[in-house]
């Protein structure tokens, strides 16, 4: 019986060793799969840099790149973290991407707005707005409390883009003049 004990112990040791090795290998393969899945979900560093730069104001952008240029990565991460409110890991990744792929500051583009408001009734303002157009000896004036700089700017943009009828229509909508008077006014606007 003692002659069988040694081979059985060796066999048990081999089986335990094989089980331990297979368990370690299965864990490693699971980790590799998780890392590969995380790698596929990871954002391209250049794209991450563009997105990160878009979250910063002009002053924050300048300060962040100043810190990066000075080699103060921790201060840059702290600045990005406080500016955006993102987590520490996301801030670290963003600053790393910004350092690797420098981005110029771009002002956020305003949301596209229609040139004419959708409201049927124009808003009335507590003041009277005067728009004056002249060409040569001819001068026209439109005065209304439904006009302001923004609306008049839209009307001028329409007129300059060649859409005279839409500009005249917008002018009649925001003032008490006729379509004929509005067309005469629009014709006098600077080209």
User: Is a pLDDT exceeding 80 seen at residue 178?
Assistant: yes
Assess contact for 165 and 176: CB atoms under 8 A: no
pTM (predicted TM-score): 0.40
Quote the tokens at residue 7.
């081979």
Residue-wise pLDDT for 32-43, tens only, equals 777 666 555 557
Residues 6+ apart with CB under 8 A from 20: none
> For 84-89, what is the mean pLDDT?
90
Per-residue confidence (pLDDT) for residue 145, from 0 to 100: 84
pLDDT at 52: 92
DSSP states along 42-93: SPPHHHHHHHHHHTS-HHHHHHHHHHHHTT-HHHHHHHHHHHH---HHHHHH
3-class DSSP state of 134: strand
Q: How far apart are CA 112 and CA 108, in angstroms?
A: 12
Look at 126 and 104; give whichever has higher pLDDT.
104
């Amino acid at each position: 019986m003692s002659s069988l004990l040694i081979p059985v112990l060796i066999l048990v040791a081999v089986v335990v060793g094989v089980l331990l090795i297979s368990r370690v290998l299965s864990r490693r393969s699971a980790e590799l799969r998780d890392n590969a899945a995380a790698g596929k979900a990871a954002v391209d560093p250049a794209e991450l840099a563009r997105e990160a730069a878009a979250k910063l104001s002009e002053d924050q952008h300048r300060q962040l790149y100043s810190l990066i240029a000075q080699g103060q990565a921790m201060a840059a991460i702290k600045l990005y973290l406080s500016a955006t409110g993102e987590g520490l890991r996301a801030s670290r990744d963003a600053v790393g991407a910004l350092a690797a792929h420098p981005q110029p500051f771009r002002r956020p583009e305003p949301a596209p707005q229609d040139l004419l408001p959708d409201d049927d009734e124009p808003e009335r303002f507590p003041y009277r707005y005067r728009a004056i157009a002249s060409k040569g000896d001819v001068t026209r004036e439109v005065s209304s409390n439904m006009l302001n700089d923004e609306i008049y700017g839209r009307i001028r943009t329409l007129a300059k883009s060649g859409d005279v009828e839409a500009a005249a229509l917008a002018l009649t909508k925001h003032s008490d003049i006729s379509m004929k008077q509005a067309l005469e006014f629009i014709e006098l606007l600077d080209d």
